[in-house]
Amino acid sequence: MKSEDKDKGLLRDFVSRNDNENGVNPLPLAGERLAKQEDEGGSSEPSGSKDKPEEGAAKRRVRGCLFSAFILFAADQLSKYIIDSFVSYGASIKIIPVYGFFNITNVHNTGAAFSIFQGNNFAFAVLITVILSVIAVWFYFNANKITVLQKYAFCLVFAGGLGNLTDRIFRGAVVDFLDFGINSLRWPAFNVADSCVCAAAALIAIDVFKSNAKS
């Protein structure tokens, strides 16, 4: 870039000296010659250079949310390994005993969310694999077209789905261990992967709300 500007400066000086010697006003001719040179050589500014900072920022955000997804997936698998290693199947450990509000338990789910459709582990493993594949392909081709909240929502869905899919493939069932409720009124036990999916749903809802508010 600097060398090209230097060349143009030398050309101006050369044209100015020659035209002054011939008694011609150098400015219009110099301008015409420089314009012709630029037309022949094309613009010195690379096309799309203004878009590069924005594209770089988008790529960094994608890498950031993918890294977050990996951390959450690792946390999900580590927590399930610890539960399977130190808490007997079906056992319950009181963490906040007041009204039995929060317990750590160890239950296995071969069905869908909230333990419905039990005994269909293989079918749900295939279904989750298909859904995650579609999400991954869609995200790859649309990562630069969606909002930041949507990026993190899709990464949370991917982390949660992959966490529970890993359970179904290698454990034969999803390990649930977070048990909340008040005495006999219990919320179905869940895990870190389930929390990721719920957080993703919350992010998408916030994004939709923000979009509607702007419009």
Nearest to 176 by CA among 164, 184, 158: 164
Annotated catalytic residue 194: yes
The CA distance from 107 to 11, in Å, is 81
Catalytic residue among 76, 167, 179, 194: 194
Backbone dihedral region for residue 181 (phi beyond 0: left; psi -120 to 50: alpha; all else: beta):
left
162-181: burial string, b at 16+ Cβ within 10 Å, e else: bbbbbbbeeeebbbbbbbbe
128-155: burial string, b at 16+ Cβ within 10 Å, e else: beeebeeeeeebeeebeeeeebbbbbbb
Annotated catalytic residue 207: no
Query: Would you state the structure tokens that stand for residue 79, as one six-digit string?
Result: 């927590």
Backbone dihedral region for residue 26 (phi beyond 0: left; psi -120 to 50: alpha; all else: beta):
alpha
The CA distance from 150 to 207, in Å, is 7
Catalytic residue among 7, 176, 179, 207: 176
Give the Cβ contact number of residue 124 at 10 Å.
Answer: 19
Q: What are the backbone dihedrals phi and psi of residue 48, each rounded to the nearest 5 degrees, phi first?
A: 80, 10
Query: Would you state the structure tokens that stand for residue 139, as one six-digit string?
Result: 């995200």
Q: Which residues are catalytic?
A: 176, 194
